[in-house]
Amino acid sequence: MKRCHHLCRLLPLWLSLVILSFSHSSYGDNVTYDHRALVINGVRRVLISGSIHYPRSTPEMWPDLIQKAKDGGLDVVETYVFWNLHEPVQGQYDFEGRKDIVKFVKTVAEAGLYVHLRIGPYVCAEWNYGGFPLWLHFIPGIKFRTDNEPFKTEMQRFTAKIVDMMKQENLYASQGGPIILSQIENEYGNIDSAYGAAAQRYIQWSASMALSLDTGVPWVMCQQSDAPDPIINTCNGFYCDQFSPNSNNKPKMWTENWSGWFLSFGGSAPYRPPQDLAFAVARFFQRGGTFQNYYMYQGGTNFGRTTGGPFIATSYDYDAPIDEYGLLNQPKWGHLRDLHKVIKKCEPALIATDPAYTSLGQNLEAHAYKTSSGACAAFLANINTQDATVKFNGKTYQLPGWSVSILPDCKNVVYNTAQINSQETTSEMRYLSSISEGTNQPLSRLSSSGWSYIKEPVGISKADAFTRKGLVEQINTTADASDYLWYSISFNITMGEPWLISGEQTLLHVESLGHVLRAFVNGYYIGGAMGSADSTKISLSKLIILDKGKNTIDLLSATVGLQNYGAFFDLSGAGITGPVTLSANGVTFDLSPYVWTYQIGLKGEDMSLFDDSDDSASLWLSDSTLPTNVPLVWYKTQFQAPAGNDPVAIDFTGMGKGEAWINGQSIGRFWPNYTAPLSGCSDSCNYKGAYSSSKCLKKCGKPSQQLYHVPRSFLKEGANTMVLFEEEGGDPTKISFATRHTGSLCAHVSEMHPAPVNFEVYPELAVSKQKLGPMVHVTCPGPDQLINEVKFASFGTPQGTCGSYSHGKCSSTNALSVVQQACVGMNSCSVPVSTKAFGDPCRGVTKSLAIEATCSS
């Protein structure tokens, strides 16, 4: 009794502690896998995942992006870990601000989602140098991504560092945290043959190194068919339904379903139709998959000099379900949300068994998951581009071309990948005319008096310049401390060199590995040239006139993101390779082997002109002769942040190429005058048939990127400072600001579509128990917004696309009033697509309802 006296008092406290700590660990402790799926706390799971890379947005944006991911039906958020962000100098770590990966992981956990942490630490990702810090390259004897001791030492050290950080914060699921999965390496299988027999040893080593870190959750290797047990090999691609893992004990997982594609400077803008993306996802689950990740779910922005290369643009929008600015990309987001909902309905059947396949005809496939306990889910696919009618379990089904129908009860079609019920929204940029500080000029067109400038010297101006005989490779020289390397040479023309006659035309010829070249002769800009994402090589030929006596040729070579992909990508190199020749009168003289003077970076970079400090304040000139359309100028102005909370963009039309800083933070490289090729685009690409990254392109002949995201958190109240470095020549007074908004809400739903999958989330339908048919449903983007106008409504055979719908041959007369009545003044509304509501304007014809509405702002 006496002993119990103590215990009895302590017991309730102890018990409540246990309960508390259990309720804190809202995630399972135990993540394993089997042939069918990842198994969390003993339960197989169907998991929908999406990539959001923490440094491509801001901590202020993270909660909203993650909430939108959750609302879109995601279970997991995936991110890479970016080594070069966290360890810019060997041994010096940085986990602040956008680099605060622990905070990011915790933010995902707070939303109740899981995390897949792809440590790499090689990540590819259109990220500078594939994520490797440049100092790694300078370690003696190092060879990247192979059986090489110096490399393995560093890779292990960084991987262990990240794992330890996560462990210390209890972030692995095994500790009650959100991380259920980790990745080591990245798509090494795509290129490993180039590394010979050492590749095998490296993969074995990577696997055991990762396992030794004892995370308590499974590891994956993507695109690595020989991933050693127990590491799961996973698939990346536009389609992964045909993939199977290298062991029957591993689940079929898709770590990168490319939701679109990345943009390059000089390229057109890729997009991927939602019907095809949904088709790919449905096919994957149809054929036994249980984990699928969108790469990207929100792509974001490559701030600063983080883009990979060469020539990866600053925007990493990717045509992902959430756009670069954090707005929903509709109907992609909504169509996938509906798909996720149906797949979750199928989950009990999907995890229970392998699918049973039946052919329904040529390229017509049925897969059914049927359990002993009576659950049944079926997927019917039409892989032809023409529509088909099929028979399944005695019932007849219409299958549109290139589509999958999902039957969560094996009888009723609840979703078809080609039939979009979701609303579509247009996103628009509203150009501003707010007032710039001090000048009272509209911000959208700042007057030149609002700008001050500093000219960056042409050629060598820094004390740390140095000389070398011959031409040097750029990346080995700059270590990427700057995009820029000056190559400078001076020589005298005397009467003794008959072939070089001053005052006559001489041909200057320069060969460079890229990425961009600007040539100056005796201080004058004579022209530039650039490579492209396909070929970085440059050759420049210009007629010049040399002076008698001393002549100087200054060549500015610039990189635009270091290579991030391919075998030995780290060795691809950049800069002027030569020859650099002068030719006149039939004689050619090669300057390459002579002594050149080099300068790494710009003087303005050394002086941190982009910083918002006052150190350089007196150097900025604000006379009336603002230089425009000349190379090498730093510009500065002040402005007021656009009012409100809408995302902000700068339209750099009028500028050439350079980098921009807002209050000292780089928003990335701008290059609005590099335009996409004239051909190869289509504004409405046919989703039917296999997709590839060049199949659906927009913006031919237009600037690859004209708008640049300025995160709200970069801005402050009152005066904000913008600094630009213009390398080629531009007019900063043409720059304008815009805010991003959702424009019209549109929807176009046919009588043939299934009813909405997620009607339980539509408040106005929650009470209705009646069997629903197809519906048009629209919701304003903001909870306080109301539909103020129905711009268009047509029931019958309406034509066209959002923003330009028109009535077809057949249209009911009351459509507009019916829709107005249901929608105006509401935050969201639903209208049945049926003759009950609209009458029948044309018997025997399949009808649809199209609407376009706007919301109050």
Q: Catalytic amino acids?
A: 187, 256
Q: Are 385 and 402 in contact (CB under 8 A)?
A: yes
Host H or E run for residue 18: helix 2-24
Q: Are 451 and 636 in contact (CB under 8 A)?
A: yes
Query: ∠ at Cα 510 (509, 511), nearest 5°?
Result: 130
Structure tokens at 70: 């959750």
Instruction: Pick the closer one to ligand GAL by CB: 187 or 480.
Output: 187
The reply on whether position 125 binds ligand GAL by CB under 6 A is yes
Instruction: Pick the closer one to ligand GAL by CB: 256 or 728.
Output: 256
Residue in 494, 493, 473 with CA at minimum distance from that of residue 485: 473
Q: For the residues of 166-213, what is the DSSP string, one character each?
A: HHHTT-BGGGTSSEEEEEES-SGGGTGGGGTHHHHHHHHHHHHHHHHT
Only segment of 121-129, 404-412, 572-580, 756-764 that touches ligand GAL (CB under 6 A): 121-129
Only segment of 27-35, 120-128, 202-210, 733-741 that touches ligand GAL (CB under 6 A): 120-128
Least distance between ligand GAL and beta carbon 536 (Å): 18
258/296 Cα distance (integer angstroms): 7
676/775 Cα distance (integer angstroms): 39
736/470 Cα distance (integer angstroms): 44
In angstroms, the Cα distances linking 574 to 483, 596, 727 are: 11, 17, 18
Among 144, 238, 262, 484, binds ligand GAL (CB under 6 A): 262
Instruction: Pick the closer one to ligand GAL by CB: 338 or 570.
Output: 570
Instruction: Pick the closer one to ligand GAL by CB: 124 or 471.
Output: 124
The reply on whether position 185 binds ligand GAL by CB under 6 A is no
Which residue in the shown chain puts its C-beta closest to ligand GAL? 124
Instruction: Pick the closer one to ligand GAL by CB: 519 or 696.
Output: 696
Least distance between ligand GAL and beta carbon 82 (Å): 11
Residues 6+ apart with CB under 8 A from 730: 628, 629, 652, 654, 655, 656, 658, 673
The reply on whether position 187 binds ligand GAL by CB under 6 A is yes
Only segment of 124-132, 281-289, 380-388, 763-771 that touches ligand GAL (CB under 6 A): 124-132
Please provide residue 715's backbone torsions phi and psi, each rounded to the nearest 5 degrees. Answer: -100, 155
Least distance between ligand GAL and beta carbon 125 (Å): 4
For ligand GAL (CB under 6 A), the number of binding residues is: 9
SS3 441: coil
The reply on whether position 661 binds ligand GAL by CB under 6 A is no
Only segment of 94-102, 119-127, 282-290, 451-459 that touches ligand GAL (CB under 6 A): 119-127
Instruction: Pick the closer one to ligand GAL by CB: 236 or 583.
Output: 236
CB atoms within 10 A of CB 3: 7
Tokens 């040097």: give the residue: 472
Instruction: Pick the closer one to ligand GAL by CB: 298 or 474.
Output: 298
SS3 843: coil
Least distance between ligand GAL and beta carbon 122 (Å): 9
Answer positive or negative: Cα dihedral of 831, 836, 839, 844.
Answer: positive
55/125 Cα distance (integer angstroms): 12
In angstroms, the Cα distances linking 513 to 279, 314, 552 are: 41, 22, 22
Q: Are 856 and 789 in contact (CB under 8 A)?
A: no
Least distance between ligand GAL and beta carbon 218 (Å): 19
Least distance between ligand GAL and beta carbon 236 (Å): 6
Least distance between ligand GAL and beta carbon 246 (Å): 18
CB atoms within 10 A of CB 394: 6
Host H or E run for residue 521: strand 516-521
Residue in 77, 80, 188 with CA at minimum distance from that of residue 131: 80
Among 206, 233, 234, 236, binds ligand GAL (CB under 6 A): 236
The reply on whether position 186 binds ligand GAL by CB under 6 A is yes
Least distance between ligand GAL and beta carbon 261 (Å): 7
The reply on whether position 301 binds ligand GAL by CB under 6 A is no
Among 111, 113, 124, 346, binds ligand GAL (CB under 6 A): 124
Instruction: Pick the closer one to ligand GAL by CB: 279 or 318.
Output: 318
Least distance between ligand GAL and beta carbon 837 (Å): 45
Least distance between ligand GAL and beta carbon 792 (Å): 37
766/838 Cα distance (integer angstroms): 23
Only segment of 94-102, 123-131, 622-630, 824-832 that touches ligand GAL (CB under 6 A): 123-131
Residue in 802, 695, 680, 761 with CA at minimum distance from that of residue 277: 695
Q: Are 774 and 753 in contact (CB under 8 A)?
A: yes
101/239 Cα distance (integer angstroms): 30
The reply on whether position 436 binds ligand GAL by CB under 6 A is no
The radius of gyration of the chain's CA atoms, rounded to the nearest angstrom, is 30
Instruction: Pick the closer one to ligand GAL by CB: 295 or 671.
Output: 295
Instruction: Pick the closer one to ligand GAL by CB: 123 or 648.
Output: 123
478/493 Cα distance (integer angstroms): 31
Only segment of 117-125, 567-575, 659-667, 768-776 that touches ligand GAL (CB under 6 A): 117-125
The reply on whether position 126 binds ligand GAL by CB under 6 A is yes
Least distance between ligand GAL and beta carbon 734 (Å): 32
The reply on whether position 583 binds ligand GAL by CB under 6 A is no
Only segment of 23-31, 118-126, 674-682, 826-834 that touches ligand GAL (CB under 6 A): 118-126
Instruction: Pick the closer one to ligand GAL by CB: 233 or 577.
Output: 233
Structure tokens at 185: 């390496």
Only segment of 122-130, 358-366, 582-590, 831-839 that touches ligand GAL (CB under 6 A): 122-130
| Residues in 755-794 at the binding interface with ligand GAL, rule: CB under 6 A | none
Cis preceding linkage at 150, omega within 30: no
- x-or-dash string of contact with ligand GAL, 157-176, rule CB under 6 A: --------------------
By CB under 6 A, name the binding residues for ligand GAL. Answer: 123-126, 186-187, 236, 256, 262
